[in-house]
Amino acid sequence: MRCAVIIFPGSGTEIFAVRDLLDCGMVNVWHNETSLSGYDVIFLPGGSSYGDYLRCGALAAHSAIIPAVKKAADEGKLILGVGNGFQVLTEIGLLPGGFLRNRSIKFSCRYTNLIVEDNNTPFTNLFEIGESIKIPVAHTEGNYHFEETDKSRIIFSYESDGGIAGIINENGNVLGMMPYPERAVDKILGSTDGLRLFESILKNHQSKNCSARQGAAN
C-alpha cells in the first residue's frame, strides 16, 4: 500500500508514526506537485497550513496539488483528512459543512472519547458500532457544522456532547475528522485506539487486492 501525505507550509507530520507499524510506503508529496498517480491512499495531515491565515484550510485549498486530490477522490481512492486536513477537505468541496471557533474560544489539546457511529466503512471496519474510543484533539476551530439531514454520514461523534467528530462523503471513500488518530497508536502515548483506523484502511486495501487477483484468475 502506497500512501501520499500532502505537505503544505505548516502541516504536521505525526502521521508518519504509523508508517513502520503498518509496514507501508508513506511518502511526502509537496503542495506544489500536480500528480498523485501511483498512490493508493491520500492523507491530508493536521497542523496549521499557511499559518491558518484568512480561514483554516482556505489558502491550502488553492494549492497546485488540489486538482489531483479531487481526481483521486473521483477515482475512489481513500482520502483521510485529520484536523487541518479535514478543514481543507471542506474548503475544496469534498466534504460538506464548515468550522467555527471552539465554544471556549481557546485552543483545545486533550484526549477525548469518541463514539463509533458506523463500522461499515473502509476506515472503521475493525471497530464496533457504539464503541467508545480514546483519541486526542488539538484545535482552535474545531466546532464543525453541516446542514444536511443525512446523519448516516457521521462516522464518529463526541461522547461528551454528541457533536460530530468525523464525517464521510456520499461515496464512502473520503473521511474527515478533527481528532488525531495518529497520536493514539502506542500505549506510551496514552491510547492505541487510533491504530485500528489505519489497520482498517490496510485491511480494506488487502481485501480489494485479493478480490482483484481472484477476478483475474477467473
Q: Would you state the pLDDT for residue 15?
A: 77
Q: Would you state the pLDDT for residue 54?
A: 75
DSSP string, the chain: -EEEEEE-TTB--GGGGGHHHHT-EEEEEETT----TT-SEEEE--B-GGGG-SSTTTTGGGSTTHHHHHHHHHTT-EEEEETHHHHHHHHTTSS--EEE--TTSS-EEEEEEEEE----STTTTTS-TT-EEEEEEEESS-EEE-----GGGEEEEETTT--EEEEE-TTS-EEEESS-GGGSSBGGGTB-TTHHHHHHHHHHHHHHHHHHHHHHH-
Count structural domains, the chain.
1
Q: Would you state the pLDDT for residue 218?
A: 60
Q: Would you state the pLDDT for residue 18?
A: 79
Q: Would you state the pLDDT for residue 177?
A: 95
34-61, pLDDT tens digit by residue?
999 999 999 999 888 888 777 788 899 9
CATH of the domain at 67: 3.40.50.880
Q: Residue 17 sits in which domain range?
A: 2-217
pTM of the predicted protein model: 0.90
In this prediction, the residues of the chain whose per-residue pLDDT falls under 70 are 20, 101-102, 105, 140, 142, 149, 210-218
